[in-house]
Amino acid sequence: MTAHSLDGKVALITGGASGIGRAAALLFAKEGAAVGILDVNEGEGKSAAEEIRAGGGRAFFEHADVARADDCRRAVERAIRKFGGLHILFNNAGIIRRASVTRLSEEDWSRVMDVNVKAVFLLSKFAIPEIARSGGGSIINMGSGWGLSAGALAAAYCASKGAVVQLTRAMAIDHGPEKIRVNCLCPGDTDTPMLREEARQLGEPGDEFLAKTSRRPLRRIGTPEEIARAALYLASDASKFVTGTALVIDGGGLA
């Protein structure tokens, strides 16, 4: 058994149908975890769960709007019912709306804050008692480099990710005594459907946009698998004395 083994663990991953969430679901399952995949994309979510089961792993897909309390509660309850416990929560789901505050609609502001921040609160609210009953574990929240250093035309997104960083720290303080570690991932630009959606929102050709975002010391953008490996580190006993931190994985972009 390696330091990154998740044998005997149960994980819930939001936004698990694509991008970083899907990569994490496949990797966690490979390391021995039973995985619950939450997403609104039913086709891709079911496909990810089927891929895990085809490889001999255990997984289910749950159609869930993570900004809705009932959906979050139902997903946690299904994990307990199906796998008998819960040890890892990866609050990965997120959306972006590229606009300044003067051009951002109230509806878009609310939706970004709901998916990026409220969902972390809701899933954690229902998951924490179960993780504590299972003997403790790890919560990983998806932040961003823009939660630490802001960027242009992304007011709601930057605000939401800054909130996630601070929520992570507060949760780490509150739930450390329950043997629950809470950390935050802060990736730089990563080759995911959301990054390509940013290009669309800004009216820029996808290839040109990706080339521009690769201007960092390592001269490239990240891959979902690279961010998933960082999530695995925080989920596993390899990080058993790490809590309340914001781990930057951005190829040197913030530097």
Give the DSSP letter string of 61-87: EEE--TTSHHHHHHHHHHHHHHHS---
Tokens matching residue 83: 């796998």
Q: Is the pLDDT of residue 200 over 80?
A: yes
- Using DSSP, state whether 12 is helix, strand or coil: strand
- In whole angstroms, give the CA distance from residue 65 to residue 140: 19
Q: Is the pLDDT of residue 1 over 70?
A: no
What digits encode the pLDDT tens for the residues 203-241? Answer: 999 888 888 888 999 999 999 999 999 999 999 999 999
Q: Is the pLDDT of residue 176 over 80?
A: yes
Higher pLDDT, 239 or 3: 239
Mean pLDDT for all residues in the chain: 97
Q: In what order do the strands lie in the sheet with 10-14?
A: 59-63, 34-39, 10-14, 88-91, 137-142, 180-187, 246-249
How many other C-beta atoms can be found within 10 angstroms of the C-beta atom of residue 178? Answer: 14
Res 207: pLDDT: 85
233 among known catalytic residues:
no
Res 211: pLDDT: 87
Residue burial 185-209, b: 16+ Cβ < 10 Å; e: rest: bbbbbbbbeebeebbeeeeeeeeeb
Res 135: pLDDT: 98
Res 243: pLDDT: 99
Res 190: pLDDT: 96
User: Hey, what's the torsion of the CAs at 155, 157, 163, 167, to 10 degrees?
Assistant: 180
Res 210: pLDDT: 84
Task: Please tell me which residue in 157, 171, 187, 239 is annotated as part of the active site.
Answer: 157
Q: What is the DSSP letter of 118?
A: I
Domains in the chain with CATH codes: 10-188+223-248 (3.40.50.720)
What digits encode the pLDDT tens for the residues 36-93? Answer: 999 999 999 999 999 999 999 999 999 999 999 999 999 999 999 999 999 999 999 9
